[in-house]
Structure 1
Amino acid sequence: MTNNVNIMSNLSQYDAAFSRFYSCMRIKTLPLYSFDFHHEYTKVLQNTFIDTARIKVLATKNKWKNTDWDLQSILRDDVVIVTDVNLKIVFASHNLIKMNGYVEEEVLGKSPKIFQGEVTNRITSSEIKKAIDAQEAFENVVMNYKKNGEVYACLIKGYPLFNNKGELSHYIAFERAA
């Protein structure tokens, strides 16, 4: 019985200390516009999870091997584009709209050349094409165009994706404004 009294006494002391701690705190309210910030952050997080899940579905469905990327951190900062072997876009992450103004629906089924134009360096494009033809990874900075016509430098890291049989399945590119 004395043991229970000691425990109850300790809990009472804990509760009293806890109460004193919180009664001394000053609660600061946030301005209303912080909810917009929170909503945007939540939306980015949600889109990251959606994009990660969709890429994992593509990887599983097509039996990609060697896909040990940290997709969630990549998708937070970069745009991810996946093309089929004919270089037609089959996936574009939500970040695409922030980088160049396009949404996925506008680019699906099209070539990544949709982002290129007059100032795109043909030598760089040729280097990328050689790497793609050789089924090798590449990293280049390309001058691309936003939907509104503005030019921006885009760092592209592209990789061929092979299935479990070793056959070329898709290409994946991690892109960010350079």
Structure 2
Amino acid sequence: MNNLRQYEDAIALYHNSLNIKTVPVYSWDFHNNFLTAVKKLFLDINKLNSIASKNRWIQNDWDFKNSLKEEVIIVTDNKLRIVFASHNIEKMNGYVEHEILGKSPKMFQGEATNHITSNEIRIAILEQQPFEKVVMNYKKNGDVYACLIKGYPVFNIKGELSHYIAFEKAA
């Protein structure tokens, strides 16, 4: 019994002499938020690459990884129905992807949206030309925000219009 007691005392002395740095429990939340954001980023990149390869998009020089860190990416089909929205759309306007899939981007517009700007975007889309405009959009809760939209037509390897892609951020 004596040897066991000496062993326990030695272990206790050793552990008490260690210089242990404790981490507050709330730091785990930051780590979890970071991991969740990284997972969503890779999920978005995989979805975009899947859409591109499935529809045989012509190779573009878009850097999805860096764009997704700073911007929201929305992809519509050639009939302007939303087929993809990146996860960070929720931060920008409160919507999540499943709430807007199949709908038109016009769902974000309202009274404060400038009709001249909307018409210029419509003409660019009809002419299959890229555009860059600031539009007054509406969040899910009804608040108005300025949104810088860089939109591009996307063509497949046959040269046919496949989709439209928009890179958006609050202006």
If the TM-score is normalised by the length of the shorter chain, which range does it land in?
0.7 to 0.9
Look up the match of 2:168. Answer: 175
In 1, the alpha carbon distance for the partners of 2:140 and 2:80 equals: 20
Percent identical pairs in the alignment equals: 63
Deviations 1:75-97 (A, max 9, x none): 11111100001100000110111
Length-normalised TM-score, structure 1: 0.83
Alignment of 1:62 with 2:52, yes or no, is: no
Matching of residues 82-121 of structure 1 within 5 Å: 82-121=75-114
In 2, the alpha carbon distance for the partners of 1:165 and 1:102 equals: 34
Which of residues 132, 142, 146 is equivalent to 1:153?
A: 146
Unaligned runs of 5+ in 1: 1-25
- Superposition RMSD on alpha carbons, in Å? 1.3
Shift of 1:147: 0.3
Superposition misfits of 4+ residues, deviation over 6 angstroms: none
Which of residues 111, 129, 140 is equivalent to 2:133?
A: 140
Report the residue type matching 1:169 in the other structure. S
Deviations 1:11-60 (A, max 9, x none): xxxxxxxxxxxxxxx66432211111111111111100000000000000
In 1, the alpha carbon distance for the partners of 2:148 and 2:86 equals: 16
Length-normalised TM-score, structure 2: 0.87
Look up the match of 1:163. Answer: 156
Shift of 1:148: 0.3
Which of residues 72, 75, 80 is equivalent to 2:68?
A: 75
Report the residue type matching 2:118 in the other structure. S
Matching of residues 115-130 of structure 1 within 5 Å: 115-130=108-123
Contact 1:88 1:108 (8 Å CA) reproduced: yes
Q: CA 1:30 to 1:119, structure 2 compared with 1: closer, same or farther past 3 Å?
A: same
Matching of residues 7-86 of structure 1 within 5 Å: 28-86=21-79
Deviations 1:89-120 (A, max 9, x none): 00011011111010111101100000000000
Q: CA 1:27 to 1:127, structure 2 compared with 1: closer, same or farther past 3 Å?
A: farther
Shift of 1:124: 0.7
User: Quick check: 65-74 or 35-44, which moved more?
Assistant: 65-74
Q: CA 1:130 to 1:27, structure 2 compared with 1: closer, same or farther past 3 Å?
A: farther
Report the residue type matching 1:146 in the other structure. K
Unaligned runs of 5+ in 2: 1-18
